[in-house]
Amino acid sequence: MNAAPAPARNDKSAVVDAAMRVLSENGLPGLSMRRIADELDVQVSALYWHFPNKQALLAAVSDRIVGDADATSGSEGIAAADAEVVAARLRDRLLAHRDGAEIVSSSLALGLLSLPAHVDLARAGRELGLDDAAAETAADTVVHYVIGYTFHEQQRLYAAVVGAADASVDLAPGQVDERGGSFDAGLRMIVAGIRATAGVS
Amino acid sequence: MNAAPAPARNDKSAVVDAAMRVLSENGLPGLSMRRIADELDVQVSALYWHFPNKQALLAAVSDRIVGDADATSGSEGIAAADAEVVAARLRDRLLAHRDGAEIVSSSLALGLLSLPAHVDLARAGRELGLDDAAAETAADTVVHYVIGYTFHEQQRLYAAVVGAADASVDLAPGQVDERGGSFDAGLRMIVAGIRATAGVS
DNA sequence: ACCTGAACACCGTTCAAGT
DNA sequence: ACCTGAACACCGTTCAAGT
Residue B5, in any domain of the structure: no
Q: Say yes or no: A45 and A103 in one domain.
A: no
Residue A64, in any domain of the structure: no
Q: Residue B156 CA to nucleotide C19 C1', Å?
A: 49
How many percent of chain A have pLDDT more than 90? 74
Q: Which letter does DSSP use for residue A64 in this model?
A: H
Q: Tell me the mean pLDDT in the region B101-125.
A: 95
Q: Say yes or no: B104 and B140 in one domain.
A: yes
How many C-beta neighbours within 10 Å does residue B50 have? Answer: 16
D3 nearest neighbour residue (CA to C1')? B46
Q: Identify the three-state secondary structure at position B104.
A: helix
Q: Say yes or no: B27 and B125 in one domain.
A: no
Which chain D nucleotides are covered by protein, judged by CB under 7 A?
Answer: 1-7, 10-16
Q: Which letter does DSSP use for residue A4 in this model?
A: S
d(CA B143, CA B117): 8
How much is the pLDDT for B73?
Answer: 52
Residue A145 contacts strand D, CB under 7 A? no
Residue A59, in any domain of the structure: no
List, for residues A33-43, the tens digit of each pLDDT value. Answer: 999 999 999 99
Band of pLDDT at residue A174, cut at 50, 70 and 90: very low
Helix (H) or strand (E) holding A187: helix A181-198
Where is average pLDDT lowest: A99-103, A120-124, B45-49, B64-68? Answer: B64-68
Closest C-alpha to B87, from B176, B194, B201: B194
Q: What's the gap in Å between the CA of A76 and the closest CA on chain B?
A: 23
B39 contacts B30 by C-beta, under 8 angstroms: no
Residue B161, in any domain of the structure: yes
D4 nearest neighbour residue (CA to C1')? B43
Name every residue whose Cβ is closer than 8 Å to that of residue B51 and which is 6 or more positions away in sequence. B12, B15, B57, B60
d(CA B115, CA B176): 29
How many C-beta neighbours within 10 Å does residue A158 have? Answer: 17
Band of pLDDT at residue B169, cut at 50, 70 and 90: very low
d(CA B153, CA B168): 19
Q: Side-chain half-sphere of A99: how many Cα atoms within 13 Å?
A: 22
d(CA B69, CA B85): 19
d(CA A139, CA A119): 8
What CATH number corresponds to the domain at position B40? 1.10.10.60
Q: Tell me the mean pLDDT in the region B42-49.
A: 98
Nearest neighbour of B137 by CB, restricted to A147, A156, A186: A186
CA-only gyration radius of chain A, Å: 20
Band of pLDDT at residue A123, cut at 50, 70 and 90: very high
Number of domains observed in the structure of chain A: 2
CA-only gyration radius of chain B, Å: 20
Checking if the pLDDT of B4 tops 80, the result is: no
Cβ contact, residue pair B137, A196, below 8 Å: no
Tally C-beta pairs within 8 A across A and B. 136
Domain that holds residue A88: 76-198
Q: Say yes or no: A91 and A189 in one domain.
A: yes
The amino acid at B141? T
Pick out residues 26-55 of chain A having their CB under 7 A from any atom of nucleic acid strand D. Answer: 30-35, 44-45, 48, 52-55
Q: Say yes or no: B121 and B162 in one domain.
A: yes
pTM: 0.88
D6 nearest neighbour residue (CA to C1')? B45
| DSSP secondary structure letters along A159-178 | HHHHHHHH---TTS-S----
Q: Say yes or no: B107 and B167 in one domain.
A: yes
d(CA A120, CA A72): 10
